[in-house]
Structure 1
Amino acid sequence: MEVLSFRTPGLGDQTYLLTHDGRGVLVDPQRDIGRFLDAAAERDVELRFVLETHLHNDYVSGGEQAALRTGAELVMPAAAAPAYRHTPAFHLEDIDGGGGLALRPVHTPGHTPEHTSYLVLIDGEPVALFSGGSLLVASAGRPDLLGPERARSLARLQHISLRRLAALPPGTALYPTHGEGSFCTATGAGRLTSTIGAELADNPLLAVDDPEKFADTLLAAPAPIPAFYRHMGPANTLGVPPMPPVQVPELDEPAAGHVVDVRPREAQAGGMLPGSYGIELDNDFGSWTGWLLPHGEPITLVAGPGQDVTEAVTQLAQIGVDTVQGVVRDLGDAATQTYRLVDLGTFVRLLREPDAQLLDVRMPSEREQVRLPGAAERFLPDLFTQGVPDALDQERPVLVACASGRRAAIAAARLAGAGYRPIALTGAGVPDVVSALDRLN
């Protein structure tokens, strides 16, 4: 048996391809299924099953399309009841894969009500568990994505589910879908894979015996929920069309809709189209674009000469955004929206000036760990929905910081479009600023 892992860093998720005796099982595939099917073809594997652990909240699934393209059997939790053809997985009713391979569905509600994990048996012996959003490495799937009204009930169910999985043999390999960087984890997830025995020893959630205390722990400081999540569950229930082509036309000027500048932040700072979003292309480009822009509206990308936008289009398609109209590369004289980027030393010097004003765009949990006195605080997505804090003066420069510079640059572009004079800290963050100020004092 071999298990191949395909990581999607920007979403913090993993897809798996299990191969055994020429048979393949694909687990929780992202929408861009080509990479998984190519891997199966390279190994001369016949894809027998496509497994879904739950109706995903953080991406649109490629499960239905992978099954249609290959003839594999699409297996989904019995309670998911999507609108397309599938085989329902019932608790502890084994699915025979032939050649000594069997799949045992284990109902593990908590992350979602229908959530089902899959225990892999070879010749009757349990060897691996695909746990989706149930038991994670050093964590568990969060129970609040379906709304606060159901969160505590689902958290108590998650307590039962984790103990159900923890009772498996300690040597069983653990392959969760959600991991480090995912907003579907209740607490900070660590390594990407593990074993049941390692989790019994190290996962702090398995040490909480009382269901109510367990629920309190999961719900104590919930992370923000990205805005695009609300569209993923319905899409995965109704069915997702095939991945669209990633090539987009070259445009002389933006089409109607929103403009997203994907160039490096240094290029953006030197001049952007007025009113455009500045989200430089990186692993989390799709997540931030899906969170900050209205869902489903037309998008024009701005890219540098020769910059490949294939990755940008792919990341957007993974969250169901198929509305990229094209790409503009020559901004001419229209790039009049600017901001400043500075290093840590310059930022600290400017911060110590009498008229300094600071905007912290980190999330609340980050601010609880370390705060910069006197800073206006607004989590980056709230800057787009609630506007700029009233305390900030348009007539004075605004120093903007986050944890690394990524979100500060996005915020600076937004402030510049609103008529402010932003100065973004790049290559460092608020903890570095606090340390530098402490050293000076």
Structure 2
Amino acid sequence: MEITSFRTPGLGDQTYLLTHEGKGVLVDPQRDIDRFLRAAADRDVELRFVLETHLHNDYVSGGEQAALRTGAELVLPAAAAPAYRHTPAFHLEEIGGEDGLVIRPIHTPGHTPEHTSYLVLIDGEPTAVFSGGSLLVASAGRPDLLGTARARTLARLQHGSLRRLAALPPQVELLPTHGEGSFCTASGAGRYTSTIGDEISTNPLLAIDDADRLADELLAAPMPIPAFYAYMGPANTLGVPPMPAIEVPELAVADVPGDAHVVDIRPRKAQAEGFLPGSVGIEEGTDFGSWAGWLLPYGSPLVLVAEPGQDVAEAVTQLAQIGIDSVRGVVRDLGSDLGSDVGSDVGTAATGRFELVDLAAFVALTERPDAQVLDVRMPNERAAARLEGAVERFLPDLVAEGVPAELDRDRPVLVACGSGRRASIAATLLAREGYRAVVLDRAGVPDVVAAKAARHAA
């Protein structure tokens, strides 16, 4: 038996391909299925099953399309009841049996009501368990993604599910779908894979022997829920169309559709030197799609702005992974178009620029009498390190709630996060409202706090 994992870092998820005696099992595939099917073909493997552990909340699945493309049997939890053809997986009702490979579904509700893990047996020996969003490395799947009304019930169910999985033999490999970087984890998950024995020894949630106490722990400090999550479950229930084409046409600025939202994916240094007024700057990175899905109206027409030669296909792929197939084109050469009127929703009120500064310069600016600082980190980050006097608003809330009223348009806004990535996005959002932003680059609020403490102690 061989198990290959495929990381999708921006979503904090893993897809798995299990191969045994020329047969393959694909688990929780992302929508861009070609990479998984190529891996199966490279191993001369016939895909026999496609397994889904649950109706995913953080991405649209490629499971149905993988099964249609290959003729594999699509298996989903019995209680999921999606609108497309599949085999329902019932608790402990074994699947397969050819060449000594058996898949044993284990109902593990908690992350979602229907959630099912899959125990792999080779010649009768438990070998690995695909735990999806149930037992994770040093954590567990969060129970609140379906709303606060059901969160405590699901959290209590998660207690039983974790203990059910912990009862497996200690040598069984633990292969979760969600991991580090995923907003589907109840706390910061660590490594990507583990064993049951290691989790019994080190996972703090397995030491909690009462369902209500576990629920208290899981719900004590919930992470924010990305806005696009609301669309993932329904899409995965009704069925997801094949991946769109990842090649998009090149556009001149004058050809940008009037109803399009412009997203600048160039490096932040290029954005700072000048961006199309009204555009949102989200420099390309592994989490580009997540931020775009969180900050922009879901499914609205998009136009990307990129540097010549920049990999636009990766950005389009990340958007498609969360069901956004509305990229109308890409502008690659801004030239003299900066500051021009682009479409009815873009406007010209923004400055189209912001300033990047290093830690020393930022700290000096914060100590001016008229300084105003905006911290755009998550609440749990602020709890760990707080910058005295800063106005606090999590980045997505700049869209949902607007710019804080305390900020003065007539003075620069000093913007910080953890590294500069979110702060530079915030700078473009502020620019749309007529604010001038100065961004802390390649450093974060904890660095500012430490630097100010050292400066005052000297």
TM-score of the aligned structures, taking structure 2 as reference length: 0.96
Q: Partners in 2 of 1:401 and 1:97 — Cα distance? A: 56
Structure 2 residue aligned with 1:188: 188
Q: Partners in 1 of 2:332 and 2:38 — Cα distance? A: 32
Unaligned 5+ segments in structure 1 are none
Structure 2 residue aligned with 1:339: 354
1:342-421 paired onto structure 2 within 5 Å: 342-421=357-436
Structure 2 residue aligned with 1:234: 234
CA shift digits 1:13-43 (9 cap, x unpaired): 0000000010100000000000000000000
1:34-183 paired onto structure 2 within 5 Å: 34-183=34-183
Aligned counterpart for 1:433 among listed residues 448, 454, 457: 448
SS at match of 1:372: coil
Aligned length: 441
1:204-243 paired onto structure 2 within 5 Å: 204-243=204-243
CA shift digits 1:81-109 (9 cap, x unpaired): 00000000000000024100000000000
Q: Partners in 1 of 2:276 and 2:45 — Cα distance? A: 49
Matched to 2:300, the amino acid is: E
Q: Partners in 2 of 1:276 and 1:196 — Cα distance? A: 48
Q: Partners in 2 of 1:402 and 1:6 — Cα distance? A: 29
SS at match of 1:371: coil
Unaligned 5+ segments in structure 2 are 340-351
Aligned counterpart for 1:290 among listed residues 288, 293, 304: 293
> Contact between 1:171 and 1:196, CA under 8 Å: does it hold in 2?
yes
Q: Partners in 2 of 1:97 and 1:22 — Cα distance? A: 14
Structure 1 residue aligned with 2:282: 279
Matched to 1:10, the amino acid is: G
Matched to 1:6, the amino acid is: F
Q: Partners in 1 of 2:25 and 2:182 — Cα distance? A: 23
Instruction: Report % sequence identity.
Output: 75
* Residue 261 of structure 1 pairs with residue 264 of structure 2: yes
SS at match of 2:168: coil
SS at match of 2:49: strand
Matched to 2:172, the amino acid is: T
Matched to 2:83, the amino acid is: A
Q: Partners in 2 of 1:399 and 1:335 — Cα distance? A: 24
CA shift digits 1:367-403 (9 cap, x unpaired): 1111001000000000111111111100001100001
SS at match of 1:251: coil
Q: Partners in 1 of 2:202 and 2:238 — Cα distance? A: 39
CA shift digits 1:229-269 (9 cap, x unpaired): 00000000000000011000000122231000000000000
Structure 1 residue aligned with 2:21: 21
Aligned counterpart for 1:323 among listed residues 326, 347, 360: 326
Q: Hey, which bits of structure 1, 4+ residues long, moved more than 6 A? A: none
CA RMSD of aligned residues (A): 0.6
Q: Partners in 2 of 1:211 and 1:222 — Cα distance? A: 17
SS at match of 1:266: helix
Matched to 1:189, the amino acid is: A
Q: Partners in 2 of 1:383 and 1:314 — Cα distance? A: 26
SS at match of 1:310: helix
Structure 1 residue 306 displacement after superposition: 1.4
* Residue 310 of structure 1 pairs with residue 325 of structure 2: no
Matched to 2:315, the amino acid is: A
Q: Partners in 1 of 2:74 and 2:245 — Cα distance? A: 24
Q: Partners in 1 of 2:289 and 2:82 — Cα distance? A: 25
Structure 1 residue 332 displacement after superposition: 2.6
Deviates most, 332-341 or 254-263: 332-341
Matched to 2:371, the amino acid is: A
> Contact between 1:48 and 1:97, CA under 8 Å: does it hold in 2?
no
SS at match of 1:326: strand
Q: Partners in 2 of 1:110 and 1:307 — Cα distance? A: 41
Structure 1 residue 333 displacement after superposition: 2.5
> Contact between 1:174 and 1:194, CA under 8 Å: does it hold in 2?
yes
Structure 2 residue aligned with 1:423: 438
Q: Partners in 2 of 1:417 and 1:333 — Cα distance? A: 20
Q: Partners in 2 of 1:439 and 1:255 — Cα distance? A: 51
Q: Partners in 2 of 1:96 and 1:182 — Cα distance? A: 31
Q: Partners in 1 of 2:355 and 2:271 — Cα distance? A: 10
SS at match of 2:231: helix
> Contact between 1:65 and 1:241, CA under 8 Å: does it hold in 2?
yes
